[in-house]
Chain A
Amino acid sequence: MRLLPALLLIAASCTLAAALRADDLLPPDTLPEQVIDHYIDARLQRAGVSPAPSADDANLLRRTTLDLAGRIPTAGEARAFVASSDSGKRQQLVGRLMASPAFNRQQTAEFDALLMDGTKSSIKEYLAKAFRENFSWDRMFRDMIVGEPDDAKQQGAIRFVASRAKDQDKLTVDTSVLFFGVNVSCAKCHDHPLVADWKQDHYYGMLSFFSRTFEVGEFFGEREYGKVNFKTVAGDSKDAKLMFLTGTVVEEPQSDEPNDKSKREEKQRIEELKKKKEPPPPPSYSRRSALVDAALKDEQSEFFSRAIVNHVWNRFFGRGLVNPVDQMHSENTASHPDLLAWLARDMRTSGYDLRRLIRGIVTSQAYARSSRWDSADKRPNDSLFAVALVRPLKPWQYGTSLLIASQNPDNLPADLSPEDLDKRMESLESAGRGLCSQFEVPTADFQVGVDEALLFSNGQKVAGELLRDGQDRLLAKLADCPDDKSAAETAIWNVFARPPAAEEVQGMTAFLSQRTDRAAEARKQFIWALLTSGECRFNY
Chain B
Amino acid sequence: MSLTRRSFLSTAAAATGLAAADMSALNVLRNPALASELKSSGKRVILLWLAGGASQLETFDPKPGRPTGGPYRAIDTAVPGIQISELMPKLAARMKQLAIIRSLDTKIGDHGQGARLMHLGRRDEPSLKYPDLGAMLARELGRAESQVPDYVSFYTATEGRGSAISQSGFLGARYNAMFLTEQNTPPNLRRLDGLTELDHKERADLRDLLSAQFARGRESAPLASHNEAYSRVRGLMASEKLFDISGEDQKTRDLYGPTLFGEQALIARRLVEAGVPFVKVSRAWWDSHGQNFETHLELVTELDRVYSALLDDLGSRGLLENTLIVTLSEFGRTPQINASLGRDHFASAWSVSLAGAGVKGGTVYGASDEDGNTVKDNKVGAAEVFATIFRAVGIDHKKDYQVGSRPVPLTDPGTKPIAEVLA
Identify the A interface with B (CB < 8 A): 167, 169-170, 172-174, 177, 183, 185-186, 194, 324, 326-327, 331-332, 371-374, 379, 389-392, 440, 442, 444-455, 457-460, 463, 504, 507-508, 511, 521-522, 525-526, 528-530, 532-535, 537-538, 540
CB contact between A534 and one of B168, B170, B214 (< 8 Å): that residue: B214
CB closest chain-A residue, reference B217: A372
B232 surroundings in chain A (CB, below 8 A)? 450, 453
Q: What would be 6 A-B contacts, judged by CB atoms less than 8 Å apart? A: A379-B219, A447-B174, A454-B189, A504-B210, A529-B207, A533-B207
Beta-carbon contact of A534 and B125 below 8 Å: no
Identify the B interface with A (CB < 8 A): 24-26, 125-128, 149, 168, 170, 172-174, 176, 178, 187-192, 195, 199-200, 202-204, 206-207, 209-211, 213-223, 225-230, 232-233, 236-237, 404-406
CB contact between B203 and one of A324, A326, A529, A534 (< 8 Å): that residue: A529
B210 surroundings in chain A (CB, below 8 A)? 504, 529-530, 533-535
B404 surroundings in chain A (CB, below 8 A)? 324, 326-327, 444
Beta-carbon contact of B229 and A450 below 8 Å: yes
Beta-carbon contact of B405 and A521 below 8 Å: no
B226 surroundings in chain A (CB, below 8 A)? 392, 448, 453, 534, 537-538
Tell me how many residue pairs across A and B have CB atoms closer than 8 Å: 164
Tell me the minimal C-beta distance from B133 to chain A in angstroms: 18
CB contact between A442 and one of B125, B174, B222 (< 8 Å): that residue: B222
A185 surroundings in chain B (CB, below 8 A)? 125-128
CB contact between A458 and one of B192, B202, B209, B214 (< 8 Å): that residue: B192
Tell me the minimal C-beta distance from A184 to chain B in angstroms: 9
Closest 9 CB pairs of A and B: A449-B173, A447-B172, A525-B203, A447-B225, A372-B217, A453-B229, A454-B188, A170-B126, A529-B206
Q: With A and B bound together, what is the CA distance between A483 and B19 in angstroms?
A: 35
Q: With A and B bound together, what is the CA distance between A173 and B129 in angstroms?
A: 13
Tell me the minimal C-beta distance from A406 to chain B in angstroms: 15
Q: With A and B bound together, what is the CA distance between A170 and B168 in angstroms?
A: 20
A448 surroundings in chain B (CB, below 8 A)? 173, 222, 225-226, 228-229
Question: A185-B126, A445-B24, A445-B170 are known contacts. Are A453 and B233 too (CB-CB below 8 A)?
Answer: yes
Beta-carbon contact of A392 and B222 below 8 Å: yes
Beta-carbon contact of B236 and A390 below 8 Å: no
Beta-carbon contact of A183 and B222 below 8 Å: no
Question: A446-B222, A453-B229 are known contacts. Are A332 and B405 too (CB-CB below 8 A)?
Answer: yes
Beta-carbon contact of A373 and B217 below 8 Å: yes
Tell me the minimal C-beta distance from A299 to chain B in angstroms: 24
Tell me the minimal C-beta distance from A337 to chain B in angstroms: 17
Which of B25, B176, B226, B233 neighbours the largest number of chain A CB atoms within 10 Å of its CB? B226
Q: With A and B bound together, what is the CA distance between A98 and B43 in angstroms?
A: 55
Tell me the minimal C-beta distance from A435 to chain B in angstroms: 14
CB closest chain-B residue, reference A460: B192
Beta-carbon contact of A177 and B127 below 8 Å: yes
CB contact between B405 and one of A194, A445, A446, A526 (< 8 Å): that residue: A194
Beta-carbon contact of A534 and B199 below 8 Å: no
Tell me the minimal C-beta distance from A449 to chain B in angstroms: 3
Q: With A and B bound together, what is the CA distance between A529 and B25 in angstroms?
A: 29
Question: A169-B126, A457-B230, A535-B210 are known contacts. Are A447 and B173 too (CB-CB below 8 A)?
Answer: yes
Tell me the minimal C-beta distance from B299 to chain A in angstroms: 31
CB closest chain-B residue, reference A184: B127
Q: With A and B bound together, what is the CA distance between A43 and B215 in angstroms?
A: 27
Q: With A and B bound together, what is the CA distance between A526 and B209 in angstroms?
A: 12
Beta-carbon contact of A528 and B203 below 8 Å: yes
CB closest chain-A residue, reference B172: A447
Tell me the minimal C-beta distance from B244 to chain A in angstroms: 17
Beta-carbon contact of B127 and A326 below 8 Å: yes
Q: With A and B bound together, what is the CA distance between A372 and B223 in angstroms?
A: 13
